[in-house]
Structure 1
Amino acid sequence: MVQYLVSNCGLKPAAAAKAAPLFANLDSTSRPDAVLAFLRSQGLTRRQVRRIVSRKPELLLRDVDATLEPKFRAIRALGLGRADAARLFALYPPALTFGVQTKLLPRVLFWLDYLGSAKLLIKWLAKTWLLQYGVDIFFRNLSTLRSIGIPESRILATSEAKLQKLLDRVEGLRVPPSSGMFMWVLYTLHNVSESAFRAKKAAVMSAAGCTEEEFAAMCRRAPCFMFAPAELLRQKVEFLLGKAECDARYIVNNPVLLTFSLSKRMVPRHRVIETLRSRGVDIGTKANLRGIMRSTEAMFVDRYIVRYQEQVPELHELYPPRQVNGKEELAVKAR
Structure 2
Amino acid sequence: MRMMIGFLRKAPVLQVRFNLTASPTPQSLHFLLDHLYLFSSSSSTSISTSEKPHPFTVSYLINSCGLSHKDARSASKYVHFETPDKPNSVLALFNSHGFSKTQTSKIVKKEPQLLLSDPDKTLLPKLQFFYSKGASWPDIAKIVVCSPSILKRSLENQIIPSFNFFKDFLQSDKMAITVVKRFSRILLFDLHTYVASNMNALQEFGVPKSNIAGLLMNQPMAFMVRPNLFRENLEEVKKMGSNPSQMKFVIAIQAIRAGGKSSWERKIDIYKRWGWSEEEIRLAFTKSPWCMIYSEDKIMATMDFFVNKMGRESSSIARRPQLISPSLEKRIIPRYSVVQVLLSKGLISKDFSLSAVFQSTEIMFLHKFVDVYKEEAPQLLNLYQEKLNLTKKQDCL
TM-score normalized with structure 2 length = 0.66
Instruction: Tell me how far apart the structure 2 counterparts of residues 150 and 127 of structure 1 sit (CA, whole Å).
Output: 22
> Which residue of 1 is the match for residue 189 of structure 2?
133
Identical residues among aligned pairs (%): 26
Which residue, out of 260, 266, 275, partners 2:332? Answer: 266
Q: CA deviation at 1:34?
A: 4.1
Q: CA deviation at 1:252?
A: 0.8
Does 2:178 match 1:123?
Answer: yes
Partner of 2:373, secondary structure, is coil
Instruction: Tell me how far apart the structure 2 counterparts of residues 167 and 94 of structure 1 sit (CA, whole Å).
Output: 32
Q: 1:75 to 1:274 in 2, by over 3 A?
A: closer
39-48 or 96-105, larger mean C-alpha shift: 39-48
- String of CA shifts for 1:220-266, please: whole Å, max 9, x gaps: 21122333221221121121112222212211111111111112211
- String of CA shifts for 1:35-84, please: whole Å, max 9, x gaps: 34322322345676577567x444654414253223223444x5445546
Partner of 1:242, secondary structure, is helix
Instruction: Tell me how far apart the structure 1 counterparts of residues 374 and 61 of structure 2 sit (CA, whole Å).
Output: 51
Q: 1:32 to 1:221 in 2, by over 3 A?
A: farther
301-310 or 192-201, larger mean C-alpha shift: 301-310
Q: How does 1:241-320 map to 2 (within 5 A)?
A: 241-280=307-346, 282-283=347-348, 287-315=352-380, 316-317=382-383, 319-320=385-386
Q: 1:81 to 1:164 in 2, by over 3 A?
A: closer
Decide whether the 8 Å contact of 1:257 with 1:293 is kept in 2. Answer: yes
Q: 1:260 to 1:81 in 2, by over 3 A?
A: closer
Q: 1:240 to 1:33 in 2, by over 3 A?
A: farther
Q: CA deviation at 1:170?
A: 2.1
Instruction: Tell me how far apart the structure 2 counterparts of residues 18 and 308 of structure 1 sit (CA, whole Å).
Output: 60
Partner of 2:386, secondary structure, is coil
- String of CA shifts for 1:148-181, please: whole Å, max 9, x gaps: 2223443353232442343244245332434442
251-260 or 133-142, larger mean C-alpha shift: 133-142
Q: CA deviation at 1:145?
A: 2.6
> Which residue of 2 is the match for residue 217 of structure 1?
283
Q: CA deviation at 1:104?
A: 0.5
Choose between structure 1 and 2: higher helix proportion: 2
Which residue, out of 132, 135, 151, partners 2:208? Answer: 151
Mind listing any 5+ residue stretches in structure 2 that lack a counterpart? Answer: 1-56, 217-222, 390-397
Which residue, out of 199, 212, 231, partners 1:142? Answer: 199
> Which residue of 1 is the match for residue 95 of structure 2?
40
- String of CA shifts for 1:187-216, please: whole Å, max 9, x gaps: 23333322221222212221x211122112
Does 2:251 match 1:184?
Answer: yes
> Which residue of 2 is the match for residue 102 of structure 1?
157
- Counterpart of 2:369, as a letter, is Y
- String of CA shifts for 1:268-300, please: whole Å, max 9, x gaps: 2112101111023x2479951112111223332
Instruction: Tell me how far apart the structure 2 counterparts of residues 8 and 218 of structure 1 sit (CA, whole Å).
Output: 54
Does 2:304 match 1:238?
Answer: yes
- Counterpart of 2:117, as a letter, is D
Partner of 1:209, secondary structure, is coil
> Which residue of 2 is the match for residue 22 of structure 1?
75
Q: 1:68 to 1:126 in 2, by over 3 A?
A: closer
Give the alignment's Cα RMSD to 1 decimal.
Answer: 3.7
Decide whether the 8 Å contact of 2:343 with 2:349 is kept in 1. Answer: no
Instruction: Tell me how far apart the structure 2 counterparts of residues 232 and 154 of structure 1 sit (CA, whole Å).
Output: 27
Q: 1:265 to 1:81 in 2, by over 3 A?
A: closer
Decide whether the 8 Å contact of 1:188 with 1:226 is kept in 2. Answer: yes
Instruction: Tell me how far apart the structure 2 counterparts of residues 4 and 296 of structure 1 sit (CA, whole Å).
Output: 53
Decide whether the 8 Å contact of 2:207 with 2:246 is kept in 1. Answer: no
Partner of 1:246, secondary structure, is coil
Decide whether the 8 Å contact of 1:301 with 1:321 is kept in 2. Answer: no
- Counterpart of 1:195, as a letter, is S
Alignment length, in residue pairs? 316
Mind listing any 5+ residue stretches in structure 1 that lack a counterpart? Answer: 324-335
Decide whether the 8 Å contact of 1:39 with 1:49 is kept in 2. Answer: yes
> Which residue of 1 is the match for residue 264 of structure 2?
197
> Which residue of 2 is the match for residue 63 of structure 1?
117
Decide whether the 8 Å contact of 1:9 with 1:53 is kept in 2. Answer: yes
Instruction: Tell me how far apart the structure 2 counterparts of residues 172 and 33 of structure 1 sit (CA, whole Å).
Output: 58
- Counterpart of 1:23, as a letter, is S
Instruction: Tell me how far apart the structure 2 counterparts of residues 320 and 8 of structure 1 sit (CA, whole Å).
Output: 45
- Counterpart of 2:275, as a letter, is G
Decide whether the 8 Å contact of 1:42 with 1:82 is kept in 2. Answer: no
Q: CA deviation at 1:118?
A: 2.0
Q: 1:313 to 1:7 in 2, by over 3 A?
A: farther
Q: 1:179 to 1:117 in 2, by over 3 A?
A: closer
Instruction: Tell me how far apart the structure 2 counterparts of residues 164 and 200 of structure 1 sit (CA, whole Å).
Output: 22
